[in-house]
Amino acid sequence: MMNFDYVRPASVADAIAAASEKGASYLASGTNLLDLMKGGVSRPSLLVDVTRLPGLDRIEHLADGGLRIGALVRNADLAHDAEFARNYPAVAEALLSGASAQLRNAATVGGNLMQRTRCAYFYDAGSACNRRWPGAGCDALKGENRLHAVLGWSEGCIATHPSDFCVPLVAFDAVVEIEGKTGRRELPLEALHRLPGETPERETALERGDLIVALRLPAEAQGFSGHARYIKVRERTSYAFAVVSAAAGLRIEDGKIREARLALGGVAAKPWRAREAEQVLAGAAPDAASYREAARAALAGAKPSGDNAFKIELAQRIVARALTLAAAGTPDRIPALPGSPFSSVAGA
What CATH number did the domain enclosing 42 receive? 3.30.43.10
- Rounded to whole angstroms, how far apart are CA atoms 119 and 133? 15
- Assign 301 to helix, strand or coil: coil
- Number of domains within the chain: 2
Where among 53, 72, 93 does a domain terminate? 53
What's the whole-number mean pLDDT along residues 115-144?
97
What's the whole-number mean pLDDT along residues 292-308?
98
pLDDT in tens, 206-238: 999 999 999 999 999 999 999 999 999 999 887
Longest dimension (CA), the chain: 63
- Rounded to whole angstroms, how far apart are CA atoms 50 and 209? 12
In this structure, is residue 277 part of a structural domain?
A: yes
Angle between helices 310-328 and 288-298 (to 10 degrees): 140
Whether 191 and 299 have beta carbons less than 8 Å apart is answered as: no
Q: Of 133-142, 153-162, 188-197, 230-239, which range is least confident?
A: 230-239
Which domain covers residue 297, as residue numbers? 225-328
How many C-beta atoms surround the C-beta of residue 11 within 10 A?
Answer: 10
In this structure, is residue 274 part of a structural domain?
A: yes
| Spatial CB neighbours of 33, under 8 Å, sequence gap ≥ 6 | 25, 27, 42, 44
Percent of the chain residues topping a pLDDT of 70:
99
- Assign 218 to helix, strand or coil: coil
In this structure, is residue 199 part of a structural domain?
A: no
pLDDT band at 345 (very low <50, low <70, confident <90, very high): low
Q: Of how many residues is the chain composed?
A: 348
Residue 342 has pLDDT above 90, yes or no: no
Residue 347 has pLDDT above 50, yes or no: no
State the DSSP string of 59-108.
EEE-TTS-EEEETT-BHHHHHT-HHHHHHSHHHHHHHHTSS-HHHHHH-B
In this structure, is residue 279 part of a structural domain?
A: yes
pLDDT band at 348 (very low <50, low <70, confident <90, very high): very low
- Rounded to whole angstroms, how far apart are CA atoms 102 and 76? 9
The mean of the pLDDT values for the chain is: 96
CATH code for the domain of 240: 3.30.390.50
pLDDT in tens, 304-320: 999 999 999 999 999 99
Q: Which of 213, 216, 215 is nearest to 50 (CA)?
A: 213
In this structure, is residue 263 part of a structural domain?
A: yes
Provide the phi-psi class of 52: left if phi over 0, else alpha when psi is between -120 and 50, else beta: alpha
- Assign 18 to helix, strand or coil: helix
Residue 1 has pLDDT above 80, yes or no: no
What's the whole-number mean pLDDT along residues 267-278?
98
Whether 224 and 176 have beta carbons less than 8 Å apart is answered as: no
What's the whole-number mean pLDDT along residues 129-158?
98
Residue 346 has pLDDT above 60, yes or no: no
In this structure, is residue 258 part of a structural domain?
A: yes
List Cα–Cα distances, 221 to 152, 235, 244, 312, 315, in angstroms.
26, 30, 23, 28, 24
pLDDT band at 2 (very low <50, low <70, confident <90, very high): confident
Helix, strand and coil in the chain, % to nearest 5: 30, 20, 50
pLDDT band at 239 (very low <50, low <70, confident <90, very high): confident
In this structure, is residue 336 part of a structural domain?
A: no
Residue 185 has pLDDT above 70, yes or no: yes
In this structure, is residue 88 part of a structural domain?
A: no
What's the whole-number mean pLDDT along residues 133-156?
97
What's the whole-number mean pLDDT along residues 13-32?
97
| Spatial CB neighbours of 208, under 8 Å, sequence gap ≥ 6 | 19, 20, 22
Residue 188, strand partner residues: 175
